[in-house]
């Protein structure tokens, strides 16, 4: 059973590509920052190289690199979950996290936007209302996020659920999961939708397989699709355990009907996929509750049907993880990689090359000065040599003269 359940982690390979790419880009920007600050010090400290225009340019590059380094640090993959209240959005998130973190119960309704994410390196699990400093216990989540509680937060609030990285593999791969109030509420919160959800890499529409997709859900997704060009959209027909058990002999028929309606929604009404084959791969029939029960050890004897539904849940998890990593790699890092290349080319053309010319000019000038000096020294040497020769001759003349004088005196 455990190997059957753990096969779900196969989805992690593409997610680790995102983490690896992030580390690599961070290294590139860190190197660029060191490189630029090295040049800044060189120019600032050297009177001969000082060039105010160059200094200004380098400072602009340095602050741009610093800003991108901060953005890179914050970059994570984001998945947003939508659907009518009680369709099982929180249950799907819990199943993906392998444990019941978000309140998910009959009658419970998530009242606000709820973001589950990995926390800072040493922090303990906690809940935090965005814009507020206070760290609250995880148990406060029930009251804060439940629409029926007196302490319920306003729908516009963003509640952050911070978990240690090691606790859930998905969070360790820098994935952020955004639970939303039911679509009927969310549809009224256009600004929140823009602020909290539109930067998601993947959107998951959680439907209730016991009923058909509602007009509100369709309308809501039309709005989402109109704001984004071809969002990555997945449809989960959740509570399939209940729906398929209602009339087991009709299971295939009901499934086909769901499939057809979802295909029409994705292709004709939302226009997010152009062909049926593509769209069909984005539609799943699952039971989030069963997936969670298998993962947290509450169900040790799954039936064949439960196992089949779990395999479908794993297929969903694998597909959306791949899509998430691919999309996030392109949208989050593509631009920063281009920026790094552009900055290096600009640095090379407008700063480094002229600087190298300047330095080599200075060296050449130095060399010329040295040759002059040698020449001057040579002249002086020759002068000295000439003088000493003359002196020697005079000395000889003098000694000859002396000898001559001495001989004269002796005579």
Binding site residues, ligand GDP, CB under 6 A: 83, 85-91, 104-106, 108-110, 238-239, 241-242, 287-289
Of 78 and 239, the one with the shorter C-beta distance to ligand GDP is: 239
**Distance in Å, CB of 179 to ligand GDP, minimum:** 6
Q: How far apart are CA 119 and CA 131, in angstroms?
A: 16
Of 14 and 100, the one with the shorter C-beta distance to ligand GDP is: 100
Dihedral sign of CA atoms 133, 138, 142, 143 in order: negative
H or E, element range at 203: strand 202-208
Of 205 and 288, the one with the shorter C-beta distance to ligand GDP is: 288
SS3 call for 162: strand
Q: How far apart are CA 102 and CA 111, in angstroms?
A: 12
**Distance in Å, CB of 109 to ligand GDP, minimum:** 6
**Distance in Å, CB of 145 to ligand GDP, minimum:** 10
Of 175 and 207, the one with the shorter C-beta distance to ligand GDP is: 207
Of 174 and 312, the one with the shorter C-beta distance to ligand GDP is: 312
**Distance in Å, CB of 85 to ligand GDP, minimum:** 5
The residue whose Cβ lies closest to ligand GDP is 88
**Distance in Å, CB of 156 to ligand GDP, minimum:** 18
Q: How far apart are CA 257 and CA 384, in angstroms?
A: 111
Of 176 and 289, the one with the shorter C-beta distance to ligand GDP is: 289
CA angle at residue 132 from 129 to 138, to 5 degrees? 40
Dihedral sign of CA atoms 31, 32, 33, 39 in order: positive
Of 87 and 119, the one with the shorter C-beta distance to ligand GDP is: 87
Query: Under a CB-based contact definition with an 8 Å cutoff, are residues 326 and 261 in contact?
Result: no
**Distance in Å, CB of 70 to ligand GDP, minimum:** 33
Nearest to 209 by CA among 152, 177, 257, 267: 257
Token pair 């000096």 in the structure block, residue: 373
**Distance in Å, CB of 292 to ligand GDP, minimum:** 8
Q: Helices 52-74 and 334-346: crossing angle, nearest 10°? A: 170
Q: How far apart are CA 179 and CA 332, in angstroms?
A: 21
CA angle at residue 68 from 63 to 70, to 5 degrees? 95
């Amino acid at each position: 059973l455990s190997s059957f359940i753990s096969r779900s982690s196969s989805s992690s390979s593409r997610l680790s590509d995102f983490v690896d790419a992030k580390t690599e880009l961070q290294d590139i920007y860190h190197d660029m920052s060191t490189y630029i600050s090295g040049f800044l010090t060189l120019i600032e400290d050297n009177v001969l190289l000082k060039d105010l225009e160059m200094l200004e340019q380098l400072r602009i590059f340095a602050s741009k690199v610093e800003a991108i380094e901060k953005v890179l640090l914050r970059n994570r993959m984001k998945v947003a979950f939508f659907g009518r209240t009680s369709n099982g959005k929180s249950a799907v998130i819990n199943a993906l996290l392998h444990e019941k973190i978000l309140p998910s119960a009959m009658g419970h309704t998530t009242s606000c936007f709820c973001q589950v994410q990995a926390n800072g390196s040493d922090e303990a699990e906690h809940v935090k209302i965005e814009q507020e400093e206070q760290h609250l216990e995880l148990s406060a989540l029930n009251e804060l996020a439940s629409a029926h509680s007196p302490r319920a937060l306003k729908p516009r609030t963003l509640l952050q659920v911070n978990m240690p990285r090691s606790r859930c593999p998905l969070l360790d791969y820098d994935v952020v999961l955004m639970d939303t109030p039911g679509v009927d509420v969310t549809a009224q919160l256009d600004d929140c939708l823009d602020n909290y959800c539109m930067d998601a890499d993947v959107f998951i529409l959680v439907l209730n397989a016991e009923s058909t997709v509602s007009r509100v859900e369709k309308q809501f997704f039309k709005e989402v699709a109109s704001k984004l060009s071809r969002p990555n959209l997945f449809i989960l027909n959740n509570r399939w355990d209940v729906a398929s058990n209602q009339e087991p002999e009709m299971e295939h028929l009901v499934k086909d009907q769901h499939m057809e309606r979802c295909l029409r929604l994705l292709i004709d009404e939302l226009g997010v996929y152009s062909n049926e084959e593509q769209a069909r791969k984005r539609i799943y029939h699952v039971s989030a509750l069963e997936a969670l029960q298998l993962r947290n050890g509450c169900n040790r004897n799954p039936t064949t049907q439960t196992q089949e539904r779990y395999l479908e849940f794993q297929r969903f998890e694998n597909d959306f993880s791949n899509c998430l990593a691919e999309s996030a790699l392109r949208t989050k890092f593509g631009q920063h990689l281009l920026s790094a290349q552009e900055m290096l080319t600009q640095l090379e053309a407008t700063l480094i090359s002229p600087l190298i010319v300047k330095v080599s000019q200075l060296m050449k000038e130095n060399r010329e000065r040295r040759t002059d000096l040698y020449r001057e020294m040579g002249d002086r040497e020759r002068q000295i040599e000439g003088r000493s020769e003359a002196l020697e001759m005079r000395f000889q003349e003098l000694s000859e003269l002396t000898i001559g004088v001495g001989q004269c005196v002796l005579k």
